[in-house]
Amino acid sequence: MSTQMQPQTTAATGFTDLSARDRVRSLLDPGTMHELLTPFDRLTSPWLEKQGVVPQFDDGVVIARGKINGQNTLVAAIEGSFQGGSLGEVGGAKIAGALELAIEENRNGNPTSAVLVLETGGVRLQEANLGLAAIADIQSAIVELRAMQPVVAVITGPVGCFGGMSISAGLCSYLIMTREGRLGLNGPQVIEQEAGVNEYDSRDRGLIWGLTGGEQRFQCGLIDQLVSGSVGDTRSAVVQCLASGVPAVHPSEAWLQHKDALQAIDMDQPMTPSYARQILQQGDDQ
């Protein structure tokens, strides 16, 4: 899609260093990327300019059909550098609409899986209710598609995956993260604002990565694969997840096993990364 010469992407290149478009290209088999609604279509947000924000011609979302290991796959990636990877009406509709077409493709007998590269703070505040509605559409489509073919979430950084889209990640068949990746419902600043600095200090980076970073999420059994962050590793993990097929139990149902462990949490004990691991690993043993 790009009209400029790209620096050569190799297996050792950092996945996080790539733009959303290059991330998509790096996951697909060479020469198979067919981007839909490219910047040339100029489908921009109808709402940003009214608020003094310069829109982008792809609204910060890249959608492509192609093949991964020879299998039909839809890849969607959110560009974290545009408005913090926030989802507005157009970007949200691109992801939801593409997933809906993948569902249709499966119904027509053409197996098509999906990979979502999630670099997002969640709903774009400037398009609030339309971002939220789009996320509800995306979630419905993930649940429908994952029953037919795997839907894989990839969360690397630097933004991480927050807000309504963290719930979308939780609906996927498989989750892949890097150590720099973060995954959580509420962003640190929002929690600090709503609950106070004693509850959550948004400047304490150690605490934040300790609780929501890729390593911790992996140790807690909340994700399937922890990868180094190179293009080669990330792609291998995606290939492996896709090859595993539709899981017998999806993460959104498997997590219910922690019910008793949650009730047993000692509210007098501070919530630290190690206490969190202790509780969630307990659930795994049941």
Interaction of residue 246 with other proteins, rule CB under 8 A: no
Determine the interface stretch with other proteins among 2-10, 17-25, 234-242, 252-260 (rule: CB under 8 A). 252-260
Q: Residues 6 or more apart from 198 whose CB is under 8 A from it?
A: none
User: What does the per-residue mask of binding to other proteins show for 24-63, with x meaning CB under 8 A?
Assistant: ----------x-xx---x-x-xxx--xx-----------x
Among 9, 14, 39, 132, binds other proteins (CB under 8 A): 132
Q: Which of 262, 255, 164, 263 is closest to 217 using CA atoms? A: 255
Q: Which of 63, 65, 45 is closest to 55 using CA atoms? A: 45
> Considering the complex, what minimum distance in angstroms separates the CB of residue 131 from other proteins?
6
> Considering the complex, what minimum distance in angstroms separates the CB of residue 13 from other proteins?
26
Among 140, 230, 240, 282, binds other proteins (CB under 8 A): 140
Number of residues that bind other proteins (CB under 8 A): 84
Beta strands in the chain (DSSP E): 34-36, 61-68, 71-78, 113-117, 151-155, 174-178, 225-227
> Considering the complex, what minimum distance in angstroms separates the CB of residue 207 from other proteins?
8
Determine the interface stretch with other proteins among 10-18, 21-29, 126-134, 226-234 (rule: CB under 8 A). 126-134
Which of residues 167 and 246 has its CB atom nearest to other proteins in the complex? 167
Instruction: Return d(Cα 179, Cα 175) in angstroms, integer.
Output: 13
**Token pair belonging to 127:** 């398009």
To the nearest 10 degrees (0 to 180), the angle between helices 164-171 and 128-146 is 0
Residues 167-206 that bind other proteins (CB under 8 A): 167-171, 183-186, 189-191, 193-195, 199-200
> Considering the complex, what minimum distance in angstroms separates the CB of residue 7 from other proteins?
26
The pair phi, psi for residue 185, each rounded to 5°, is -75, -55
Asked if residue 122 lies in contact with residue 92, where contact means CB atoms within 8 angstroms, the answer is no
Among 18, 114, 154, 280, binds other proteins (CB under 8 A): 280
Instruction: Return d(Cα 114, Cα 201) in angstroms, integer.
Output: 36
Asked if residue 124 lies in contact with residue 162, where contact means CB atoms within 8 angstroms, the answer is no
Residues 62-101 that bind other proteins (CB under 8 A): 63, 65, 89-90, 92-94, 96-98, 100-101
Asked if residue 130 lies in contact with residue 86, where contact means CB atoms within 8 angstroms, the answer is no
> Considering the complex, what minimum distance in angstroms separates the CB of residue 232 from other proteins?
27
Helices (H), 30-123: 89-107
Among 55, 164, 213, 229, binds other proteins (CB under 8 A): 164
Determine the interface stretch with other proteins among 4-12, 164-172, 225-233, 235-243 (rule: CB under 8 A). 164-172
Residues 215-244 that bind other proteins (CB under 8 A): 217, 220, 222
Instruction: Return d(Cα 258, Cα 256) in angstroms, integer.
Output: 5
Among 109, 263, 268, 285, binds other proteins (CB under 8 A): 263
The pair phi, psi for residue 241, each rounded to 5°, is -65, -45
> Considering the complex, what minimum distance in angstroms separates the CB of residue 245 from other proteins?
19
Which of residues 50 and 109 has its CB atom nearest to other proteins in the complex? 50
